């Protein structure tokens, strides 16, 4: 049977077993969609990236959660390019990657930091009942209305839409008790992949904010550190005028309540870019069954 090299690469961190783990399959050009889906299910991380040849870019990436294909995944893009750079497959400098949302630019710095340019931002303010939102997140609605008076809820996307919800203090965000079905229903109503709740009451003095991302509708109850949502968050904060003078770079911390802390660097200018480091935590092989075989992949 076919064996395939697979990796777990932790993105937005320099420490193994922190940040957000992405599956990476460096050679996937002869895998079927069903085989990719099976591999992603077996690796059981939020997303797995499959590296394919491209006619329009340096390479193509397809992303799968354990339950379905996803159009774009920031942390898996960062993880893949960090791995390819670490192994000498690609050099530092500018690269292009084909995704389901279009061709995106990726920059790999000599020290291994990877920057991903996201799609042009789209921000749409939405009115959501705070009682319903509080019930879905398991947060006192007063903690949402407090800051919502100055910073409205909105759906923002730089490739994958999220509903952005500000929370007044970290203790309320950290104490969230999400109702996954309610979050999925609410996200579907506003045409978003999930909800990104955040507070400016961060743990690290250098951090701009602390975020948590819930996306049960795409098979991710809570994502440790979310690249696509972080870029969209930067665009959203600029659109709603969250700062008197918008910072040159934002630092978004996430994952602490899952014991997988990580940091996403975000730059919002003519383009939206997200960046960070990544480290390989597992490198091995999986046995892939024939395409017509529906059996679970064997380790």
Positions marked active-site: 47
Q: Contact, 50 vs 97, CB < 8 A?
A: no
List phi, psi (to 5°) of 36. -60, -45
DSSP state of 45: S
Nearest to 118 by CA among 134, 130, 102, 129: 102
Nearest to 11 by CA among 54, 67, 63: 63
Query: Coil, helix or strand for 186?
Result: helix
Question: Which contacts qualify for 139-144: CB closer than 8 Å, 24 or more apart?
Answer: 139/167, 139/172, 139/173, 139/175, 139/176, 139/197, 140/172, 143/167, 143/168, 143/169, 143/172, 144/168
Q: Which residues pair with 264 in a beta bridge?
A: 252
Nearest to 191 by CA among 155, 227, 229, 231: 155
């Amino acid at each position: 049977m076919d064996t395939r090299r697979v990796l777990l690469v932790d993105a937005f961190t320099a420490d193994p077993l922190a940040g957000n783990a992405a599956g990476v399959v460096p050679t996937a050009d002869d895998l079927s969609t069903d085989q990719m889906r099976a591999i992603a299910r077996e690796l059981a991380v939020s997303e797995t990236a499959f590296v394919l040849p491209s006619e329009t870019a340096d390479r193509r990436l397809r992303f799968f959660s354990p339950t379905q294909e996803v159009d774009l995944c920031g942390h898996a893009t960062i993880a893949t390019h960090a791995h390819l750079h670490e192994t000498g497959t690609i050099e530092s400098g500018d690269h292009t990657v084909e995704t389901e949302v279009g061709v995106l630019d990726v920059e790999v710095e000599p020290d291994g930091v990877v920057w991903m340019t996201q799609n042009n931002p789209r921000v749409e303010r939405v009115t959501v009942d705070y009682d319903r939102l509080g019930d879905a997140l398991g947060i006192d609605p007063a903690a949402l209305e407090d800051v919502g008076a100055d910073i409205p809820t909105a759906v923002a996307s730089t490739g994958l839409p999220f509903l952005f919800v500000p929370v007044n203090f970290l203790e309320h965000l950290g104490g969230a008790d999400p109702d996954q079905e309610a979050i999925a229903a609410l996200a579907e109503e506003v045409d978003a992949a999930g909800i990104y709740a955040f507070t400016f009451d961060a743990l690290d003095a250098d951090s701009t904010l602390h975020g948590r991302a819930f996306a049960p509708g795409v098979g991710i109850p809570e994502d440790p550190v979310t690249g696509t949502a972080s870029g969209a968050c930067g665009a959203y904060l600029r659109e709603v005028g969250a700062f008197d003078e918008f910072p040159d770079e934002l630092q978004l911390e996430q994952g602490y309540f899952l014991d997988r802390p990580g940091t996403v660097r975000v730059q919002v200018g003519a383009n939206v870019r997200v960046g960070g480091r990544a480290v390989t935590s597992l490198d091995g092989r999986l046995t892939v069954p024939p395409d017509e075989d529906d059996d679970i992949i064997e380790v």
